Chains A and B, each alone.
Chain A
Amino acid sequence: MDVTGMPILADAGLMDFVAGLFSFKLVSCLALSAAIFSIGAMGVLARRNVLVMLISVEVMLNAVMLAFVSFARAMVNLGPPAGKTFAAEGGQIFALFIIAVAAAEAAVGLAIVIAYFRNRQTVDTRDIKAMRN
């Protein structure tokens, strides 16, 4: 902006549009997070391959991470809730811990899937039914 306060660029409309597109909105971030979480949950419930189910669980964890980070960002923008001095760092730290948790679960999960595959040559849930009453 120059001293008159007017935008320098002639096509300010486009810039406003771009700025609006990239500005932070909690609701849209949460909607995205909810969408990703639902996609992951559907993947776990509907898919038949255990590997794909594990990938879907990771997708769900990533959606949770997105929710945490967007809440943290919202607290930076809006200030912490009443009575709190700081709250924004917590969400970001939690997201880092979720990364660690997801990595541990993926490592153990893949090992278990491989051990099962060596025994049965399949990881299809329709074949995983050794136990019935």
Chain B
Amino acid sequence: MNVSQLTELLPVGVVLISALVVVFLDLILSPKERYILPMAAMAGCLLALGVLGQNYLSAVQLYKSAPPWFAGFAPQSAGGYKTAILGGAFVIDGFGMAISAVALIAGALSVLCSTHNDEDSALSKGEFYGLVLLAVSGMMLLAFSHDFLTLLISLEIMSVATYILAGSERDDVRSGESALKYLVLGAFSTAFLMLGMAFIYGSTGSFSLSPVILHSSDPRNYLVIGGFGLLVVGILFKVGAAPFHFWVPDVYQGAPTGVTALMAVGVKAAAFAMVGRLLFETFRAPGFREHWTGLVAAVAVLTMAVGNLIALRQSSVKRLLAYSGIAHSGYLLLGFLINRRADPAVMEESLHAVAFYLLAYGVMTLGAFGVVSLTREDGRSLENLEDYNGLAKEHPALALCMAVFMLSLAGLPPFSGFFAKFMIFSSAIDQGFILPAVLGILTSVASLYYYLRVVLRMYMPEADSASASCKYAWTSNLLVYGAGIGSVLLGIFPHWGIGMH
């Protein structure tokens, strides 16, 4: 084994080491010095982000061009970026790097979002930040894994850490309920995923995600088809797509707000990395792709419709954001449609669209949850829509940022959400899936209603006394303003986000 290959995984190592450092620091520090813990966790994420960027730049330098967005598309013989490491267990490519970057940003910002909890809360302990970092390391490994075994293990590193995080507010019944539901349904879906892996292993004799393993097998082989079906069920569960979305609202609403932000952005990005690897790489093989595109298109349309329609009648902001997250999963699934020709260049464009969407969606969702975490009463986030009445009068800057996030999530022009949706819909249309794209645009128009409802409540002139009291915490304010500026900048200069390419 070539040890120098491991530098490609150094960002993950940095995150893991800082997780250990945070847990040990917790033992040494006195309660008054605990404020160092979130700073250390943040520093770990930012350092890893720096190392990731350095790796990317050195790859660009070494190969005189950007590494292919998806290693599977460019064979090494064709001058592609030599990326398979550890015997093909992991593969380092632009897509994996982009998803890892989103996971690191989600980790860093959800730490910021959680720092202002009360002294005695379980959330201010070292384990909490250590687990956030562990979950982030699982997400990054998932984005790079290229083998069923590493896929499963990274998925479990991420999921088990997130189960604990969801239940980390131990005195709160809703947090415990969220953890229970997440645990049972998460483990249930993982079992389906594993059985699918078993069937595909049984028919191909290989764990690799490379499409080569399917070349010798008949597309009508019932083991492969059954295994693929089980894999799809497991993945749609993780992504929160329509027939399997029912756990999302309860889990998102009950978990502590910082953890919800991590789940809504980081876990979703990692799950979509899994979708990309399986659909765009393994099952891109001819004879298979014709079968799943229709299925994915149907699921995408159903997900967008269900998410947006149920969000219309939500009274809790966290629940509203959860249903909006389901709808956004539907939009993202549109980016994974490919036509019969499966032209690698067009598929790379689709992946760019997906990665930019995840980045833009991540920034605005993290910001929105940051605002939710700042409006508090009795140590718990206020989340009813009525609590936001007249927020603009008391906290104009926060309300402005929240308005930016809502309009950006709705996909209105000057903000990042517009370009994200534009790229996704145009990639679906390029691939010839016009009806799903049109239905997506229609549901996205419907979504304007519930996003604008939040904005209107904040700017209502007749603010009654029930206005939310906001706790001041510079960390969360930093997060909210940073995300607000980010949403605007990504909307005006979208090529900065795609400029990684």
Contact = CB atoms under 8 A, between A and B. Distances in A.
B201 interface: yes
Contacts of B250: 131
A44 B184 contact: yes
B293 interface: no
B405 interface: no
Query: Max chain A CB contacts within 10 Å: which of B152, B156, B199, B205?
Result: B205
Given A130-B174, A131-B174, A37 B195 contact: yes
Given A94-B207, A112-B176, A133-B319, A64 B191 contact: yes
Given A60-B188, A133-B319, A108 B163 contact: yes
Contact of A105 (B148, B160, B203): B160
Given A57-B187, A87-B205, A130-B174, A81 B153 contact: no
Query: Max chain B CB contacts within 10 Å: which of A50, A57, A112?
Result: A112
Given A98-B194, A104-B160, A116-B177, A44 B188 contact: yes
Contact of B148 (A67, A94, A130, A133): A94
B177 A131 contact: yes
A86 B253 CA distance: 48
A27 B180 CA distance: 36
Contacts of B152: 94, 97-98, 101
B76 interface: no
Contacts of A63: 195
A15 B195 CA distance: 35
Interface string A57-68: 100110110011
B475 interface: no
Interface string B185-198: 00110110011011
Interface in B142-193: 148-149, 152-153, 156, 160, 163-164, 167, 170-171, 173-174, 176-181, 183-184, 187-188, 190-191
B75 interface: no
B183 A71 contact: no
Interface size class on chain A is: 35 or more
A109 B163 CA distance: 8
Interface in B384-441: none
B199 A87 contact: no
A130 B167 CA distance: 14
A60 B177 CA distance: 23
Given A101-B152, A101-B156, A130-B254, A71 B194 contact: no
Nearest to A105: B187
Given A91-B201, A105-B156, A128 B195 contact: no
A94 B201 contact: yes
A75 interface: yes
Query: Max chain B CB contacts within 10 Å: which of A61, A63, A104, A130?
Result: A130
Nearest to A37: B195
Nearest to A61: B191
B191 A131 contact: no
A7 interface: no
Interface in A60-108: 60-61, 63-64, 67-68, 71, 74-75, 80-84, 87, 90-91, 93-94, 97-98, 101, 104-105, 108
A46 to B, nearest CB: 13
Nearest to B164: A108
Given A97-B152, A115-B176, A57 B198 contact: no
A61 to B, nearest CB: 6
Interface stretch (B96-104, B236-244, B279-287, B309-317): B309-317
Contact of B173 (A37, A93, A94, A120): A120
Given A61-B187, A109-B183, A112-B164, 17 more contacts: A50-B180, A54-B183, A57-B184, A71-B198, A81-B204, A90-B206, A94-B152, A94-B201, A97-B153, A105-B187, A109-B163, A109-B184, A111-B164, A112-B176, A116-B173, A119-B170, A133-B313
Interface of A: 37, 40-41, 44, 50, 53-54, 57, 60-61, 63-64, 67-68, 71, 74-75, 80-84, 87, 90-91, 93-94, 97-98, 101, 104-105, 108-109, 111-113, 115-116, 119-120, 123, 128, 130-131, 133
